[in-house]
């Protein structure tokens, strides 16, 4: 495992994708860049630590990121509708999170007691390289709840001391705006839950 000290003003390890993915699969949390805001992440089975690290209210669900739409839809536990596939084809990779009906262990881990799961395929080569090695990850923005969103590796590391970061740093400049969140309604059609960096047409 290659650790590169001295690159940050805080003592956080900075790891290559393969080493960081291995740590994630062993249960660690991690920080990595995306096209919107840096992410704090863990494997779905270890997602409970993200609420603790972020001091996030327990009723706020996490988002599942993956390197392909196939990996994301496979975690829903239900067959994807044509409308979902069409929206995903338009939105991904990109700054849109789709909140879809879901059942099973991944949905329960990221949205305890809920019946939906937020999915996103980031348009970030660095994030995708990590996700290809780690598999789908539970994610949230890399900031303590109530604090301004981190936009750089240094800002993320200062809020989460000791949590390993994806190399290389500095990270590519992110958009600095959260993803648009669009949910599928039980009666059919889409509803915008959060207007963000990109708004799908016709909504």
Q: What kind and span of H or E run contains 191?
A: strand 190-194
Q: Where are the beta strands (DSSP E) in 13-114?
A: 14-15, 30-32, 39-42, 63-65, 96-101
pLDDT in tens, 44-77: 999 999 999 999 998 999 999 999 999 999 999 9
| Residue 19: DSSP 8-state | H
0.85 surpassed by pTM? yes
Q: What is the pLDDT of residue 202?
A: 62
Alpha-carbon span 157 to 34, nearest angstrom? 15
CB 159 within 8 A of CB 150: yes
Residue 12: Cβ within 10 Å count? 23
First-last CA distance in the chain: 46
Q: How far is C-alpha 79 from the chain's CA centre?
A: 22
pLDDT in tens, 137-152: 999 999 999 998 899 9
């Amino acid at each position: 495992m290659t650790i590169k000290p001295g690159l940050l003003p805080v003592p956080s390890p900075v790891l290559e994708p393969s080493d960081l993915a291995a740590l994630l699969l062993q249960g660690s949390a991690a920080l990595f860049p995306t096209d919107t805001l840096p992410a704090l992440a863990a494997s779905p089975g270890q997602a409970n630590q993200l609420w603790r690290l972020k001091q996030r209210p327990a009723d706020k669900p996490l988002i599942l990121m993956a390197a392909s739409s196939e990996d994301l839809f496979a975690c829903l536990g239900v067959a994807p509708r044509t409308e979902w596939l069409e929206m995903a084809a338009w939105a991904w990779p990109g700054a849109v999170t789709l909140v879809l009906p879901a059942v099973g262990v991944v949905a329960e881990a990221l949205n305890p007691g809920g019946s939906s799961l937020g999915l996103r395929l980031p348009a970030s080569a660095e994030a995708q390289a990590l996700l290809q090695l780690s598999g789908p990850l539970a994610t949230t923005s890399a900031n303590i709840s109530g604090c301004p969103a981190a936009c750089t590796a240094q800002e993320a590391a200062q809020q989460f001391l000791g949590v390993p970061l994806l190399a290389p740093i500095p990270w590519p400049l992110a958009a600095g705006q959260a993803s648009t969140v669009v949910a599928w309604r039980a009666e059919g059609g889409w509803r915008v839950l959060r207007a963000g960096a990109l708004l799908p047409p016709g909504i």
